[in-house]
Amino acid sequence: MSSVRHRTATVDGHEIYYREAGPADAPVIVLLHGYPTSSFMFRELIPLLADNYHVIAPDHLGFGHSDAPPATEFDYTFDALAELTSGLLDQLGLDRYALYVQDYGAPIGWRLALKNPERISAIVTQNGNGYEDGFVDSFWAGLWAYGANPGPDTEPAVRAAMSLEAIRWQYVHGVPDPSVVSPDTWEHDVALVSREGNDEIQLALFRDYQNNRPLYPLLHEYLRTSEVPVLAVWGRNDEIFGPAGARAFACDAKNAEVHLINGGHFLLESHLDVVAGYLRGFLGRVLG
Position 2 pLDDT exceeds 80: no
Position 240 pLDDT exceeds 80: yes
pLDDT in tens, 130-184: 999 999 999 999 999 999 999 999 999 999 999 999 999 999 999 999 999 999 9
| 265 noted as active-site residue | yes
CA atoms of 195 and 245, how far apart (whole Å):
32
Residue 24: what residue type?
A
* pLDDT above 90 as % of the chain: 99
Position 288 pLDDT exceeds 90: no
Averaged pLDDT for residues 9-29: 98
- The gap from C-alpha 131 to its chain's centroid, in whole angstroms, comes to 15
Beta strand residue intervals within 201-256, DSSP E: 230-235
pLDDT in tens, 83-141: 999 999 999 999 999 999 999 999 999 999 999 999 999 999 999 999 999 999 999 99
Position 38 pLDDT exceeds 90: yes
* pLDDT above 70 as % of the chain: 100
CA atoms of 160 and 157, how far apart (whole Å):
5
Label residue 16 by pLDDT band (50, 70, 90): very high
CA atoms of 211 and 142, how far apart (whole Å):
16
pLDDT at site 1: 64
pLDDT in tens, 78-87: 999 999 999 9
- For 252-266, the DSSP string reads TSTT-EEEEES--SS
Label residue 52 by pLDDT band (50, 70, 90): very high
Q: What are phi and psi of 247, to 5 degrees?
A: -60, -30
Q: Is the pTM of this model over 0.85?
A: yes
Task: Please tell me which residue in 14, 33, 65, 265 is annotated as part of the active site.
Answer: 265
CA atoms of 83 and 111, how far apart (whole Å):
9
* DSSP 8-state assignment for residue 249: G
pLDDT at site 224: 98
Mean pLDDT, the chain, integer: 97
